């Protein structure tokens, strides 16, 4: 009962006029920051960090956390409306959100994303409130072998994202891993795969550069190829009755993906250095693998929108837990929040819940309020997002091109990255033309920088013995499941060929 009393006190702190105003402003600003390609929660929180010196520490952290929440919701907007993920956390939303928009069902995609985000954030906040100390201990038990096993499990779900053509899927994964390896080696510090000694490659290839190129420029070129210059529009409909029908359909067809994303996303988010992106990608893969109609994924499945959106919101809350209880940021955004807390004289760690109880529970209470405010604001702005889709493609295509270029330049202010965006866009167009799946390549470049160093650190710990992954109690079962999932599509394909030969 003490926990419920503390949660109530925290909610009362969050709804104080000043804090409530900060939540509303933060969520609204975060919504549009998340929707703008090239920005995302990390840049939004970093840019607005100086503003928080005008308010008390509790209000400051509540404001920054509200921006984080809003940005998680906002990432789905550009994924659905433009086919460009606002941040890496929303890339999986593009797989089914954009096809739904092209079918004139953008309202269904946006409603599904909003409701799934609300459920994911709420479930994560409840877990956070009830099990913070226990989950902190679980997070501490994850070392490099466990994290690599988790990344391998994520890669195992990628195989299912590429359809039945396993060789092409594996090629896409390998291509993504090669691109992820460009730049300085994180272990030795030596440069690698730096083409022609071009200095821009020393920084590596940023995910936002790849995402904007593939899903911005590449998608635009593909649509132009398909329409052959015809003036087209998605002609989405938006009425109160239609919104109610979409809400009902979103609940009926997206509930399974919502719960998968909520649970899996929070667990992955709790792990230090994992964050919302791996959680959303894994949730999408697991939802597809457990679906009775996996063939609908990638063509406009509400479940394919619900799973990653629930996961990235659940994971964003989960990533707060190691920051508060251990002083270890669970994502790049929480690393900035951690820096802000230190500046305000707050010391994250186990003592924080005792020494600064009012602050901690006020922040947790703000999670509940921010989540409610975010879903209401998101639903209220859906007509605006629908209006964007009524533009003919002859107008929308140049707009997408300009946003892609501006977003890519704003992220790094580098002409090198702009050329890469164009190159990746053209490459993505030809990959689609020859039926090579794009999703595994994009997902590999996201998780490659996490998987590679943890693999090498694990082998260093064991003096090169790979059995370290099968002798640790947490890593072993995850590795076994991952290997089974990797082999399963091949077994199904062989069985199908055998059945055809028999017939």
Q: What is the pLDDT of residue 449?
A: 80
Q: What is the pLDDT of residue 31?
A: 85
Share of the chain above pLDDT 70, in %: 82
161: pLDDT strictly greater than 80: no
Tokens of 391: 């533009």
DSSP H helix total and E strand total for the chain: 22, 2
- Nearest CA-CA partner of 281 in 303, 265, 263, 297: 265
Tokens of 345: 């004289």
What Cα–Cα distance (Å) separates residue 283 from each residue in 339, 343, 354? 30, 35, 35
- Specify whether the CB–CB gap between 110 and 234 falls below 8 A: no
126: pLDDT strictly greater than 80: yes
Q: What is the pLDDT of residue 187?
A: 73
Exposure string of 480-501, with b = 16+ CB inside 10 Å and e = fewer, is eebeebbeebeeeeeeeeeeee
Q: What is the mean pLDDT of the chain?
A: 78
| Mean pLDDT in residue range 166-174 | 81
314: pLDDT strictly greater than 80: yes
Of the listed ranges 149-163, 203-217, 222-236, the one predicted with least confidence: 222-236
Task: List CB contacts of 410: < 8 A, sequence separation 6 or more.
Answer: 38, 39
| Mean pLDDT in residue range 140-169 | 73
- Nearest CA-CA partner of 315 in 438, 441, 150, 445: 150
| pLDDT, tens digit, 9 for 90 and up, residues 330-375 | 666 776 777 777 777 777 766 677 777 788 888 888 888 888 888 8
Tally the residues of the chain.
503
- Specify whether the CB–CB gap between 382 and 238 falls below 8 A: yes
Q: What is the pLDDT of residue 500?
A: 66
Q: How confident is the model at residue 442 (pLDDT cuts 50, 70, 90)?
A: confident
| Mean pLDDT in residue range 427-434 | 87
| Mean pLDDT in residue range 227-252 | 63
Q: Is the dihedral of CA 300, 304, 310, 315 positive or negative?
A: negative
102: pLDDT strictly greater than 70: yes
| Mean pLDDT in residue range 152-173 | 71
Q: What is the pLDDT of residue 164?
A: 56
| Mean pLDDT in residue range 389-407 | 71
């Amino acid at each position: 009962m003490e926990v419920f009393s503390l949660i109530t006190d925290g909610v009362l702190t969050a709804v104080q006029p000043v804090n409530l105003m900060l939540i509303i402003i933060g969520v609204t600003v975060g919504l549009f920051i998340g929707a703008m390609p090239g920005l995302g929660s990390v840049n939004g929180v970093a840019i607005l960090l100086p503003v928080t010196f005008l308010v008390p520490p509790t209000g400051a952290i509540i404001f920054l956390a509200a921006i984080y929440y809003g940005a998680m919701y906002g990432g789905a907007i550009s994924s659905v409306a433009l086919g460009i993920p606002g941040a890496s956390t929303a890339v999986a939303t593009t797989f089914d959100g954009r096809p739904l928009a092209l079918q004139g069902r953008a309202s269904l995609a946006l409603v599904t994303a909003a409701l799934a985000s609300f459920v994911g954030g709420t479930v994560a906040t409840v877990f956070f409130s009830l099990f913070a100390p226990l989950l902190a201990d679980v997070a501490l038990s994850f070392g490099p072998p466990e994290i690599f096993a988790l990344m391998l499990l994520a890669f195992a779900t990628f195989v299912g994202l590429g359809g039945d053509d396993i060789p092409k899927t594996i090629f896409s994964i390998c291509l993504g891993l090669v691109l992820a390896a460009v730049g300085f080696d994180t272990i030795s510090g030596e440069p690698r795969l730096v083409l022609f000694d071009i200095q821009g490659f020393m920084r590596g290839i940023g995910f936002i550069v790849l995402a904007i190129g593939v899903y911005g420029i590449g998608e635009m070129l593909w649509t132009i190829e398909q329409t052959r210059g015809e003036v087209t529009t998605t002609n989405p409909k938006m009425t109160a009755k239609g919104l109610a029908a979409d809400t009902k359909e979103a609940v009926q067809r997206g509930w399974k993906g919502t719960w998968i994303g909520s649970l899996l996303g929070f667990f992955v988010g709790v792990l230090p250095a994992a964050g919302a992106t791996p959680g959303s990608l894994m949730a999408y893969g697991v939802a597809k693998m457990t679906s009775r109609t996996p063939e609908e994924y990638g063509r406009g499945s509400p479940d394919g929108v619900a799973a990653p959106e629930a996961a990235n919101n659940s994971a964003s809350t989960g990533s707060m837990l190691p920051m508060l209880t251990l002083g270890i940021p669970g994502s790049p955004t929480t690393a900035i929040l951690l820096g802000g807390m230190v500046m305000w004289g707050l010391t994250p760690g186990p003592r924080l819940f005792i020494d600064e109880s009012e602050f901690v529970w006020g922040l947790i209470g703000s999670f509940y309020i921010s989540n409610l405010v975010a879903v209401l604001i998101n639903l209220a702005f859906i007509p605006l997002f629908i209006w964007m889709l009524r533009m003919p493609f002859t107008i929308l295509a140049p707009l997408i091109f300009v946003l892609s270029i501006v977003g890519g330049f704003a992220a790094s202010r580098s002409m090198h990255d702009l050329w890469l965006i164009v190159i990746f866009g053209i490459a993505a167009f030809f990959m689609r033309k020859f039926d090579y799946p794009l999703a595994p390549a994009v997902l590999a470049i996201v998780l490659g920088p996490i998987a590679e160093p943890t693999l090498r650190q694990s082998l260093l710990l064991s003096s090169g013995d790979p059995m370290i992954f099968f002798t640790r109690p947490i890593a072993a079962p995850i590795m076994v499941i991952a290997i089974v999932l990797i082999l399963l599509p091949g077994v199904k394909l062989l069985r199908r060929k055998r059945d055809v030969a028999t017939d």
